[in-house]
Amino acid sequence: MSHSDKAEIFNKNEAKVNWHDKALWFVREKRDTAAHKVKGWEYLRELASGIKANVLSNLDEYLIEFEANAQKNGIKVHWASTAEEHNKIVHSILSETNAKKVVKSKSMLTEECHLNPYLENKGIEVIDTDLGERIVQLAKEAPSHIVLPAIHKTKEEVDELFQKHLGTKPSKGNPEYLTNEARKHLRDKFLKADAAITGVNFAIAETGGFVVCTNEGNADMGAHLTKVHIACMGIEKIIPKESHLGVFLRLLARSATGQPITTYSSHFNKPASGTEMHIVIVDNGRTEQLSREDFRSSLHCIRCGACMNTCPIYRRSGGHSYNATIPGPIGSILSPGKDLTKHSSLPFASTLCGSCTNVCPVKINIHEQLYKWRQIIVKDVKQPFIKKTTLKIVGKVLAQPKLYAIFGKSARWLITYAPRFMVYSRLNTWGKSRELPKIENGNFDQWYKNRNKNG
Amino acid sequence: MKVGLFIPCYINQLYPKVGIATLELLEKLGVDVYYPTNQTCCGQPLGNSGYESDAKGACAVFVKNFKEYDYVVGPSGSCVYHVNQHFDILPQTEDVKKIRKNTYELCDFIVNVLDKKVIGASFPFKVGLHKSCHGLRGLKLGSCSERMVPYYSTEELLLKEVKGIELMSLNRKDECCGFGGTFSVFEEAISVKMGKDRIQDHLDNGVEVITGADHSCLMHLEGLLNRNNQPIKVMHIAEILNNSI
């Protein structure tokens, strides 16, 4: 199903659309307030974008520098070129350490690699410990947002889900009660876990350490309670220097939720004695995206989700309508690089309003890349016959002023004189919920001609 | 200074009154303005649908029509933006480069080229300004709410000088209306929902007339207003500025 089909289904429940839109707009406004408080916000974005551009131009060197420094600190470094390799590596670490129960804090990379089903098939229990992630895991759904994974669920829906899976009492969606119950449930999982998997927000080349940002402290809880910590990162997560954190940490949480900083910004530099720390560095299509000049800067992304919160389409269609690991505007420029046919409707799920580009803390020109993907998609992916033929004919007509004049006149005549049932037929998608313009007497060309004649 | 009047295809065919107001307004401001006949379209509907390469013929017609003018002025931000931004598909001859640089949206031209703000118009109504995205974020006719820069709005500079006008404040000052060219039919459900939400914001704030510098957004909003019999009119900003000068 295309994005528009799924969006149409989502829009059948207008009250829920309004609620979803308002919830995310609230976050966008919080972001505005937080960003306004930072003097030099635009300069900070410029700086972050510049650092990321430098990283992408020297990625090979930074990655090797990072690996060497991490190894010096006693961290074991693994390289995976595909999702499958990543999953195999994680599994082999778990096997070697005889780990059967795993707690995982939020990592979009492991979502991208479909790590959970892979490990579950091998008989390993994987528990997502971020509250939102745990909710969607219990519901057997994918996250609908990269920062707010369960934003598509109301508290009443969570109430029902918890009753079913955690045995809670009906509470009419009391957030305090439900959170407390989730806390007890997760506490038990943390205490019994053998290994912890986390994502990585920033990996620092000069130190070989990495930073994980959470609001719930679940990454720390997992990493400190278990003997094995596996951190999974995409190759683009590198930053050159520790001091660059001063740029990115200031941008990340403000852009994401409007907080000055995430509750926990945890720095991991070396394993504690008696424990193991692993880093899996994953490509999975990133170097290919790096090779596409027009789309390279999509790898600047620090996964704040601001483009989703600001996107008027995302807010009204829900994250699942994108049918991709990363939904929203940034996902719509990343996903076509992975599977052009599957994701070919995504770059069209935009009015090209440009709000995403302006909100992005690392200045990715998202709406311009959407436009560029569109040009590629109509060439490389089979298009509906009517759409393609119509637009090709339009192109020919617009190149010939005389032919265009005839077409314009005919169209105006048709809208004016054809019976309403014909004009507003099933083929007229515009007219489903909108009136066509009322046709005035003649067009501008005719008015101008007459005016000159009379004048 | 010779100015070529750029009347986008949909204004020519569907909203001649907007073209007329634009021409009259420029003439009243003392501009030496010409209307090259044989205009078709800037090619934006094709480009935004992914068929940019099929628009080269239309772009070439545009260049042929306007190459002799010092400035090209049109009453539609998104079309002007398309000329500025996407005429990179043509060979970059001197004519093409000049046209990309000198094609202006009407308000931008009045404020930043003619350096005029007070036009002497009068319009005693409660007006809501729809800031069209391509004008706002593309042509930078104003500061958008995402960016932490000093506030400005070219359209508001002009509207504030109109006698009797009451410019109403909106809850979401620059959210997209959902038109988006062919988006309006290929993503019909979302497009309509976005338009309805925009209209509600204007209704909630007591607006009588929605105006803007891009009539394509207004066409979409008008289509919804008329279908739902809602008590708001739409008028292009040129019609307001041209009122009783």
Encode chain B in three state secondary structure: CEEEECCCHHHHHHCHHHHHHHHHHHHHCCCEEECCCCCCCCCHHHHHCCCHHHHHHHHHHHHHHHCCCCEEEECEHHHHHHHHHHHHHCCCCHHHHHHHHHEEEHHHHHHHHCCCCCCCCECCCEEEEECCHHHHHHCCCECCCCCCCCCCEHHHHHHCCCECCEECCCCCCCCCCCCCCCHHHHCHHHHHHHHHHHHHHHHHCCCCEEEECEHHHHHHHHHHHHHCCCCCEEEEHHHHHCCCC
Domain covering A38-284: architecture:
3-Layer(aba) Sandwich (3.40)
Cβ <8 Å between B51 and A392: yes
Show the tokens assigned to B83. Answer: 């000329």
Give me the pLDDT at residue B136, please: 98
In chain B, residues 62-81 whose CB comes closer than 8 Å to chain A? none
Chain B residue with CA closest to A427: the answer is B185
All residues of chain A having their beta carbon less than 8 Å from the beta carbon of residue B187 are 3-4, 7, 313, 348-349
Residue A185 CB-half CA count within 13 A: 20
What is the number of residues in chain B?
245
Distance separating alpha carbons of residues B42 and B18, to the nearest angstrom:
17
Distance separating alpha carbons of residues B158 and B69, to the nearest angstrom:
25
- Whether A454 shows a pLDDT value over 80: the answer reads no
Cβ <8 Å between B180 and A437: no
Show the tokens assigned to A146. Answer: 């990269």
Nearest to A367 by CA among A316, A294, A318: A294
In chain B, residues 44-63 whose CB comes closer than 8 Å to chain A? 45-58, 60-61
CATH classification number, B126-241, choose in 3.30.60, 1.10.3710, 3.40.1130, 3.40.50: 3.40.50
With bands split at pLDDT 50, 70 and 90, how would you rate the model's confidence at A427?
confident
Q: Tell me if B8 sits within 8 A of B76, measured CB to CB.
A: yes
Distance separating alpha carbons of residues A324 and A326, to the nearest angstrom:
5
Per-residue pLDDT, averaged over A236-250, amounts to 98
Q: Which of B16, B23, B43 lies at the smallest CB-CB distance from A443?
A: B16
Cβ <8 Å between A398 and B55: yes
Cβ <8 Å between B220 and A434: yes
Q: Which residues contact A115 (CB under 8 A, 6 or more apart)?
A: A86, A87, A90, A126, A197, A232
In chain B, residues 88-127 whose CB comes closer than 8 Å to chain A? none
B137/A contact by beta carbon, under 8 A: yes
Chain B residue with CA closest to A4: the answer is B187
Cβ <8 Å between B192 and A391: no
Distance separating alpha carbons of residues A60 and A55, to the nearest angstrom:
9
- Whether A205 shows a pLDDT value over 80: the answer reads yes
Encode chain A in three state secondary structure: CCHHHHHHHHCCCHHHHHHHHHHHHHHHHHHHHHHHCCCCHHHHHHHHHHHHHHHHHCHHHHHHHHHHHHHHCCCEEEEECCHHHHHHHHHHHHHHCCCCEEEECCCHHHHHCCHHHHHHHCCCEEEECCHHHHHHHHCCCCCCCCCCCCCCCCHHHHHHHHHHHHCCCCCCCCHHHHHHHHHHHHHHHHHHCCEEEECCCEEECCCCCEEEEECCCHHHHHHHHCCEEEEEEEHHHEECCHHHHHHHHHHHHHHHHCCCCCCEEEEECCCCCCCEEEEEEECCCHHHHHHCHHHHHHHHCCCCCHHHHHCHHHHHHCHHHHCCCCCHHHHHHHHHHHCCCCCCCHHHCCCCCCHHHHHCCCCCCHHHHHHHHHHHHHHHCCCCHHHHHHHHHHHHHHCCHHHHHHHHHHHHHHHHHCCHHHHCCCCCCHHHCCCCCCCCCCCHHHHHHHHHHHC
Q: Between β-strands A210-214 and A202-204, what pairing exists: parallel, antiparallel or unpaired?
A: antiparallel
- Whether A421 shows a pLDDT value over 90: the answer reads no
Q: Tell me if A147 sits within 8 A of A141, measured CB to CB.
A: no
In chain B, residues 214-243 whose CB comes closer than 8 Å to chain A? 219-220, 222-224, 226-227
Distance separating alpha carbons of residues A129 and A108, to the nearest angstrom:
13
Q: CB-based burial of residue B207 (10 Å sphere; 0-12 exposed, 13-18 middle, 19+ buried)?
A: buried
Cβ <8 Å between A430 and B185: yes
Give me the pLDDT at residue A426, please: 86
Q: Which of A349, A447, A448 lies at the smallest CB-CB distance from B187?
A: A349
Choose the mutation target among B7, B20, B40 for the interface with A, i.e. most A CBs under 10 Å. Answer: B40
Chain B residue with CA closest to A410: the answer is B13
ipTM: 0.97
> Which residues of chain B, if any, have pLDDT below 70?
245
Tell me the shortest Cα–Cα distance from B8 to chain A, in angstroms.
10
Chain B residue with CA closest to A26: the answer is B172
CATH 3.40.50.10420 in chain A is located at: 38-284
On average, the pLDDT of chain A sits at 96
Q: Between β-strands A195-198 and B32-34, what pairing exists: parallel, antiparallel or unpaired?
A: unpaired
pLDDT digits (tens, 9 = 90+) for A273-321: 999 999 999 999 999 999 999 999 999 999 999 999 999 999 999 999 9
Per-residue pLDDT, averaged over A145-153, amounts to 96
Task: Give the other-Cβ count within 10 Å of A5's Cβ.
Answer: 12
Chain B residue with CA closest to A355: the answer is B146
pLDDT digits (tens, 9 = 90+) for A214-225: 999 999 999 999
Give me the pLDDT at residue A415, please: 86
Give me the pLDDT at residue B245, please: 64
Cβ <8 Å between B184 and A430: yes
All residues of chain B having their beta carbon less than 8 Å from the beta carbon of residue A400 are 40, 57, 61
Q: Tell me if A336 sits within 8 A of A30, measured CB to CB.
A: no
Give me the pLDDT at residue A167, please: 97
Give per-residue burial for A6-37: e unless 16+ CB within 10 Å, then b.
bbbebbeeeeebeebbeebbebbebbbebbee
All residues of chain B having their beta carbon less than 8 Å from the beta carbon of residue A412 are 13-14
In chain B, residues 151-180 whose CB comes closer than 8 Å to chain A? 172, 175-176, 178-180
Per-residue pLDDT, averaged over A262-276, amounts to 97
- Whether A394 shows a pLDDT value over 80: the answer reads yes
- Whether A436 shows a pLDDT value over 80: the answer reads yes
pLDDT digits (tens, 9 = 90+) for B58-115: 999 999 999 999 999 999 999 999 999 999 999 999 999 999 999 999 999 999 999 9
- Whether A327 shows a pLDDT value over 80: the answer reads yes
